[in-house]
Structure 1
Amino acid sequence: MKKTSLFLISLLLILMTGCSLEPPEWAKPANTNNPKEMKIGLSISTLNNPFFVALKDGVVAEAKKQGIEVIVVDAQNDSAKQSNDVDDLIQKGVNALLINPTDSSAISTVVQSANSLNIPVITLDRSADKGDVKALVASDNVKGGQMAAEYIVSKVGKNAKVIELEGVPGASATRERGKGFHEVADKQLNVIAKQAADFDRTKGLNVMENLLQGNPDVQAVFAHNDEMALGAIEAIKSSGKDIPVVGFDGNEDALNSIKAGALTATVAQQPDLIGQMAVQAARDVLQGKTVEKSIPAPLKLVTKE
């Protein structure tokens, strides 16, 4: 009986150890001030979006310049996959984590896991709701939303009827861009419909088709990103209407669409710069330097004019 009890206790201890998020001794990051000995993990929400591809490229280019090793993983817009991806990066012994959250709430658990292991976390473009994040490197999404609303007012006038295409529910960028937009729109525009299209071009097209049927008198559209805006334009073209659309990000497809006279405007970010600044922030944290909690990247409104 005693032997059986001891066996069960030993088995339980083995299982508990196996389930630990703590990396094995050989994979634990060593404290280092030398960039050439640093290893950074980058978790991107999706690489099926030009904006995040540019953000990833900015990280990789800056890390190469600094001599820092970087491991990139793609969450494919799946918050559960992203959590598993970050766990894997921790197991690989990264010195720091750069995370572009799919969902700001869902990512909080693994941020806290990294905190417990003293692995610094930098978030890019979107924040985490909980956990210790050393710095958020992002554009001022609230300001960008305000810029979009102000431009629509100047384009179609006060009290114009507007449709809003929202991003992924739960993403901080969705909340912040919507907040900034409504700070102006609720006073100067008439938002007649809004619906999530998850920052996706195909969903933007499908959602816009449905919203046009119920709101044929819409005068302008604000999309929380360029991918949804470009999808909305296709739906508008198919309907035979001419409705101004304002996006957000400034990706290459959007800029080309503006030049061609299709997309009306975009609030342009600089994703490659966000990536570069995130690597610099991670390096500074690992070298014991103090960094700002919020590191802003500049925005600009791009139109054909």
Structure 2
Amino acid sequence: MKGRGIAITAAAALTAALALSGCDRGGGTDLGLALSTMNNPFFVGIKEGARAEAKARGLKINITDAQNDPIQQISQMETFTSQNVKAAVINPVDSDAAVPAVGVANRADVPVISIDRGVNGGRVGSTIASDNVAGGRLAARTLAESLGGKGKVAFLEGQPGTSAARERGKGFEEGIRAYPGIEVVARQPADFDRTKGMDVMANMLQAHRDIAGVFAANDEMALGAAKALGSAAGKGVHVVAFDGTPDGIAAVRAGTLTATVAQQPKLLGRQAVDWAVKASKGEKLPAEVKVPVVLVDRKNAAEFDG
């Protein structure tokens, strides 16, 4: 009975590990892509782009969902190395917490590419991301101009610990300094989450009822903020977002959001696969690849449908 108990425990542990990794441990996998979450349209776009590029090249790609848990990304990278992938791509849950996951690949001599967010350690061949600093500046200018250069604004920051949140915040701060009539009266992380965006915005409005503008560092938070603002969203209060997801574009067309700084997630996904293949061949890669962003407002929103 004791031996059987050990066997059952081992089997249960293996089942739990497979559940955590969220993927198939079968062989024949060429590339691994560890996404921070798939509960966000932007990362779904990255997945679609990566999958399409891999299919076009005749490659098998294992795409996993860490559900915003950095521990799962370690487990997923272990799975990739056990599958003998040629290269791995990671979209970090947290830029610091992703270092051990990258270390797993480094020890197995599997090249690593990071996407959308950087990793603050380990050997990463290249980081492919939108130009978040430039996008933050563009958002600041758009918000300030929509307010005529004066007014009180709120800033909903992204998930602390991510390079995307830090860079968008840096760009926004740099851009808004050019408008001395704009005062940032409240700023708080809402973790790139729609529900948290709504809750944070509601709390900000309790303390600052005269907020005239909002910059949210992604569409999901902006949509949550718009819900908290109710009928004032896009009218009494201008809301500028970042991502260019289908829901964000639809809100711009409806006038709920003033604008969104659009990324190109499918292009990011395709480029990540391209760079991963190059890394697997030992090609020398640039440390960073910046993908341009574009402003979407009601004038051009129809061009971004679909």
TM normalised by structure 2 equals: 0.85
- Counterpart of 2:80 in structure 1 is 89
Distance 1:45 1:67 in 2: 25
Determine helix, strand or coil for the equivalent of 1:133: coil
- Counterpart of 1:302 in structure 2 is 296
- Counterpart of 2:279 in structure 1 is 285
Distance 2:183 2:236 in 1: 18
Distance 1:81 1:238 in 2: 40
Alignment of 1:57-76 (within 5 A): 57-76=48-67
Distance 1:220 1:239 in 2: 10
1:254 and 2:245 matched: no
- Counterpart of 1:157 in structure 2 is 148
Q: How many residues align?
A: 271
Q: Contact 2:36 / 2:69 at 8 angstroms: preserved in 1?
A: yes
1:245 and 2:239 matched: yes
Distance 1:84 1:289 in 2: 27
1:195 and 2:188 matched: yes
Distance 2:134 2:54 in 1: 29
Bigger-Rg structure (1/2) = 1
- Counterpart of 1:17 in structure 2 is none
1:274 and 2:268 matched: yes
Determine helix, strand or coil for the equivalent of 1:180: helix
TM-aligned CA deviation for residue 86 of structure 1: 1.8
Quote the RMSD (CA, aligned, Å): 1.7
Distance 1:158 1:146 in 2: 14
- Counterpart of 1:142 in structure 2 is 133
Give per-residue Cα distances to partners, 1:209-243, cap 9 Å, x unaligned: 11111111111000010000011001001678721
TM-aligned CA deviation for residue 263 of structure 1: 1.1
1:108 and 2:119 matched: no
Q: Contact 1:236 / 1:242 at 8 angstroms: preserved in 2?
A: no
- Counterpart of 1:9 in structure 2 is none
Q: Which of 192, 212, 234 is residue 219 of structure 1 equivalent to?
A: 212
Point out where structure 2 has 5 or more consecutive residues left out of the alignment.
1-24, 300-306
Distance 2:84 2:254 in 1: 47
Determine helix, strand or coil for the equivalent of 1:289: coil
Determine helix, strand or coil for the equivalent of 1:212: helix
Distance 1:246 1:238 in 2: 16
Q: Contact 1:148 / 1:181 at 8 angstroms: preserved in 2?
A: yes
TM-aligned CA deviation for residue 207 of structure 1: 0.9
Q: Which of 258, 273, 286 is residue 264 of structure 1 equivalent to?
A: 258
Between 1:284-293 and 1:239-248, the stretch displaced more is 239-248
Give per-residue Cα distances to partners, 1:249-299, cap 9 Å, x unaligned: 100001111111111100000000000001001111222322221112121
Alignment of 1:124-139 (within 5 A): 124-139=115-130
Determine helix, strand or coil for the equivalent of 1:90: helix
1:51 and 2:45 matched: no
Amino acid at match of 1:43: A
Give per-residue Cα distances to partners, 1:73-106, cap 9 Å, x unaligned: 1011112222222222222222211101110000
- Counterpart of 1:7 in structure 2 is none
TM-aligned CA deviation for residue 38 of structure 1: 6.6
Amino acid at match of 2:78: D
Distance 1:212 1:81 in 2: 36
1:98 and 2:89 matched: yes
Distance 1:239 1:187 in 2: 26
Amino acid at match of 1:249: D
Determine helix, strand or coil for the equivalent of 1:164: strand
- Counterpart of 1:19 in structure 2 is none
Determine helix, strand or coil for the equivalent of 1:191: strand
Distance 2:36 2:255 in 1: 30
Q: Contact 2:74 / 2:104 at 8 angstroms: preserved in 1?
A: no
Q: Contact 2:73 / 2:101 at 8 angstroms: preserved in 1?
A: no
Between 1:88-97 and 1:238-247, the stretch displaced more is 238-247
TM normalised by structure 1 equals: 0.85
Distance 1:268 1:65 in 2: 25
Amino acid at match of 1:53: V
Amino acid at match of 1:227: E
